[in-house]
Chain A
């Protein structure tokens, strides 16, 4: 079945460090891929998305490229800020599973000044 595998956390970085959170997926159809962010005590917010191979999603300095050849959708940011501290979830939605979403386990990021 479809699934998402996300790198284990927690991740702790110093401010202005480079961030990579790995995400790989398994899907039988042609999935759309998403990154969501959850700040403490809140629900999830869509961070970025990509709907087909080689698409690059970007938002707030974060980027992720849909790599079909490696079935990956790694999240990157060149210079993290303290305000980026949150939990990040990778997710997919496949056309052949009727709007069903599959989430990774989440990666907690803490950015220290």
Chain B
């Protein structure tokens, strides 16, 4: 159980275009989803926290107009990288947490999306 599906697993796009990444919790309801960015051989950088039905909370330094997050349902959150540039190339990972669980529940991660902007 507790499967998080992330699509696409990799995408190549041209500079200036937008890319949407989907994160779905397949067998549980997720009130909260997190979006991370990971640079090569580095740790996870939390970009934003997404709660179902409300606006995402962005971490300091993350441009909310560039990284649009929508959490329209308890099983789906999307991250759209708008007007992508080569410096946006990275590995993006989503994670989700069970609805209504205790604070000691683990995060469940998607398999990540490798974005390459040419």
Most chain A beta-carbon contacts within 10 A, residue among B107, B110, B112 = B107
Q: How large is the interface on B (under 10, 10 to 19, 20 to 34, 35 or more residues)?
A: 20 to 34
Q: With A44-B93, A105-B42 known to touch, is A99 a contact of B32 (CB < 8 Å)? A: yes
Contact B109 A43 (CB under 8 A): yes
Interface residues, chain A, CB within 8 Å of chain B?
A: 32, 34, 36, 41-46, 49, 51, 89, 91, 93-95, 98-101, 103-106, 108
Main secondary structure on B side of the interface with A = strand
Q: Can you list 17 A-B contacts (CB < 8 A)?
A: A32-B103, A34-B106, A36-B109, A41-B112, A43-B93, A43-B95, A43-B110, A43-B112, A46-B106, A91-B107, A99-B103, A101-B34, A101-B46, A103-B44, A105-B42, A105-B43, A106-B42
Contact B107 A43 (CB under 8 A): no
Q: What's the count of A-B pairs with C-beta under 8 Å?
A: 57
Give complex CA distance A36, B4 in Å: 15
Give complex CA distance A100, B57 in Å: 12
Most chain A beta-carbon contacts within 10 A, residue among B46, B104, B111 = B104
Give complex CA distance A90, B87 in Å: 28
Closest Cβ of chain A: how far from B47's Cβ, in Å? 13
In the bound complex, residues from chain A placing their C-beta under 8 Å from that of B114 are 41
Decide yes or no whether B97 CB sits under 8 A from chain A: yes
Contact B104 A108 (CB under 8 A): no
In the bound complex, residues from chain A placing their C-beta under 8 Å from that of B93 are 43-44
Q: Which listed residue, B6, B43, B105, B106, touches A43 by the CB 8 Å rule?
A: B6
Contact A89 B43 (CB under 8 A): yes
In the bound complex, residues from chain B placing their C-beta under 8 Å from that of A32 are 103-104
Closest Cβ of chain A: how far from B89's Cβ, in Å? 15
Q: With A43-B6, A89-B43, A105-B42 known to touch, is A95 a contact of B111 (CB < 8 Å)? A: no
